[in-house]
Amino acid sequence: MQPLSILCRSLRDIDTYTTGFPLGTNQGQANIFRAVKRILPGPYTFILPATKELPKQCIKHGSSTRYAKRRQVGVRMPDDPICQAILQNLEEPLICTSVKYLAEDEWILDPVTIADIYEPLGLDFIVDGGARIADPSTVVDMTGSYPTIIRQGKVCGAKLDWMVTGTDQEAQSTYSRKAA
């Protein structure tokens, strides 16, 4: 299944389609919600447990009538002005994924090229905001014991002190103090 995310206009939308960010406890567990609130909108995708409110398009598997059980979903609140303008006029999130050439591991930046390649495959429309800079978001998995970076963004989306990578053993032990 191809990784997919939803673009949300607000933290309220994120809470509708996911179980939300951990609020922390009085026993020293980090308040991730407060930390995330400071960096969104921004260049981060957070993987969170999905709720039943997640639109069916997000769980449909291929072109069959079967539905896969997607238990997590990536959520973004982009700081891009074009995305923000579109989201403010919708009542639901937009489904999105990274756009790469089908046979290569290279980003497609030109909207005309995206349309030429993906329209025959079912692309409904494209918003032509001109050629874009390929700066993928930093992807943080929030479904485990610690907020873990799955993919580091190129320029934006810095690793914050309450996030860990797979090699951050020391950071995991101090995690509970960082986000509060």
pLDDT for 171: 47
pLDDT for 57: 60
- Cα distances (Å, whole numbers) of residue 146 to 19, 50, 110, 157: 16, 18, 37, 17
3-state helix, strand, coil in the chain (%, to 5): 25, 20, 55
pLDDT in tens, 75-131: 999 998 988 999 999 888 888 876 666 666 677 777 888 888 888 888 887 888 877
Residue 24 pLDDT exceeds 50: yes
Listed by start position, the domains of the chain span 5-98+134-179
pLDDT for 162: 75
pLDDT in tens, 144-159: 888 899 888 766 667 7
Checking DSSP bridges between strand 5-7 and strand 72-76, what pairing results, if any? parallel
Compute the distance between CA of residue 11 and CA of residue 37 in angstroms, rounded to an integer: 8
pLDDT for 47: 93
Which one-letter DSSP state was computed for residue 94?
A: E
Q: Is 96 helix (H, G, I), strand (E, B) or coil?
A: strand
pLDDT in tens, 55-68: 766 655 455 445 45
CATH code: domain 5-98+134-179 is 3.30.110.120
Residue 16 pLDDT exceeds 90: yes
What six digits make up the tokens of 86?
């579109």
40 within 8 A of 118, measured Cβ to Cβ = no
Beta-carbon contacts of 98 under 8 Å, excluding residues fewer than 6 positions away, are 3, 107, 136
50 within 8 A of 18, measured Cβ to Cβ = yes
Compute the distance between CA of residue 136 and CA of residue 3 in angstroms, rounded to an integer: 13
